[in-house]
Chains A and B, each alone.
Chain A
Amino acid sequence: MKRLIAITLLIGLMQAGFGYSLLNREAGDMVRNFDARTAGMGSASVAGGLSLLDGVVNPANIGLMDAALQLQASAYVAKNNDDRSLPMYNFFDSYVGDATYATNANFFDDYTFALKYALQLDDLRLAVALSHRPVVNFYSEYDEQVRNDANSNYEEYPPIIARNSIDGKGRIQAGGMQIALSYTDMISAGIGVNYLYGDTSLRRRIVWADAAYDLVSGSTNLQDADFSLKRDFDAAIQLSGGITYRVSQRFVLAGSYTAKTELDATLSGNENGVLLDSLATASNLHDAYDTYTLPAEIRAGVRYEPRNIMRTYFNADVRFVKWSDVSSRYDDVLNYYCGVEHRFASSLPLRMGFMYETTYTTVDEDGIVYGQEITTPGFSLGTGFAVLPKVTVDVAAQFNYRTYECLDLFMDSFYDYPELWNEIEPADRGWDKPDTVKETTVGLTTSISYKW
């Protein structure tokens, strides 16, 4: 009992703040991992069947789990580091690197739950699972200080004249049911029906500081900018299906399909002041707000269980994402995931994974709008242990990083009041002098599983 309390506390302590990738503050981040085993395996799970939440990726997987009753709950905490820098030029006016002007570290969390019951009918097994999980996450948080150029040559701190912030909230969640029918643990087919619902809000603000009012001393009427947009999504049904086939003792092949899903949105919000921002990804494309599209996906993978001096599982997935469903500016992409699990003599697992994903942002350059590909590589490590005969806890850490260019989030001409500056005349930076963003995410996933 003490152990159970400790585990509950462990998961509870992970409830930290909020925050995720600013890149996808409007488009949202598709949630990739639902449980710690999959996270440790680099998100390779379509040919799963070892973790209940694999059923979310491929409903057929639950048909291959022999336990009658299973429960699984997962908690996910991520720390997102977003370093934003602007280009530096040297004596010869050559670009030499980037100077970081804003760095944000935020935490984000999510929870997933699944319950399964299986009925054995001779060689047939009918399994039904219920799950609740996040599908898309809109959380993001950003804080930037705008300081004037007084005393900046002498390593003193110039006064803050404005604070810029972005505050994104909300998620699309799914309450789902997966049903699978398997035959002699050899082949399983399943379908998933997910009820999608949720909302999101995004607030962007520029708030002048007292120092700015002091500097203009009434000569200019400084006005804060405060824009917020709320999207209430109408519920929608997402369908998925999959097949898992055990070819031999060593190989399991699987494939799954998730249909394109569209959620209509009701917009509300307010606009105060004039906000010069570059949140252009969807601002330019207003119709993108009316409907939110989750692209269709096809995922295929293999599980390989070789003979090894340690019990070993190797999973590899290829995920085809039809990004062209979302925007004609995007190409469809292939993402790759692979992972290996070794179980040492003490049954202690060690998991290692690798992932490579391509996502998009919409870019407006010189009047031409196109999709810019952003690649995100990452790796993961994980382990687990049994706390009670039927209860196991798994833990995994995932690390992702990426570098990409984007426009200044808050364009500088907003601050172009001569009284505020000594020498600088703030002007907008366009795509000839973009921001470079280096982003790292460290995620910790903890799952607790019960089998009966």
Chain B
Amino acid sequence: MKVLVFIKRVVDYNVRVKVRPDGSGVDTDGVKMSINPFDEIALEEALRMREAGQADEVIVVSAGTSDCQQQLRTGLAMGADRAIQIDTDKPLQPLTAARAFQALVEQQQPGVVLLGKQAIDDDNNQTGQMLAALWGRPQATNAAKIELSGDTARVTREVDAGLEVLDIDLPAVITTDLRLNTPRFVKLPDIMKAKKKPLDVVALDGLVSDAGNDLKIGNWSPPPQRGKGIMVDDVAGLVTELKSRGLL
């Protein structure tokens, strides 16, 4: 069985993002970029499936300029067998990404598609769901545990009310949550091995005819700065202050 893992190149979670002064987006100049942490968990899960003998090939895929080959090479160094870059110089919105992924899924015929529940840059939490709908296959989102057996998967999700267990037929799309696993460190010699693994480039236009991103983004701005606080002496003082601001 093939496992297809989609990873996104995002601003590293340690970086303090800044909006560009002209409001045209987030400043990524000189900023560290990484694999979206949820996608890294998805890749780790795929590698564990292969190591458990449940999968025989792990393919890691990303969409973007040649810059995202850096993240694909990291994925190969972690242990993926081969990589595919969907070449585009436009940032993809979820529906466009899902359409492109669907075309790739139809070509590759994987048994399981894994991706993070959301990317930490735009926090959309949409691509996995859209991909499942377009592909016409089951979906299990926010997976905290995945057990494969034959043609089905049992996926445990952490929901507000507790744990929800889904049994789904494969092939299916599973999106991963934070507590599923802890991704491995890359061993240094594996970086060298990754340089020799295959990395194919396909043009976005070759996968989807309608590549237009339909959502228009007007302007970006940072959240308003919090004003200076005041100290109140006691509860009565607090109540007075809240009332005077019409908050109580």
Same complex: no
- Chain B positions within 8 Å of A, measured between CB atoms, are none
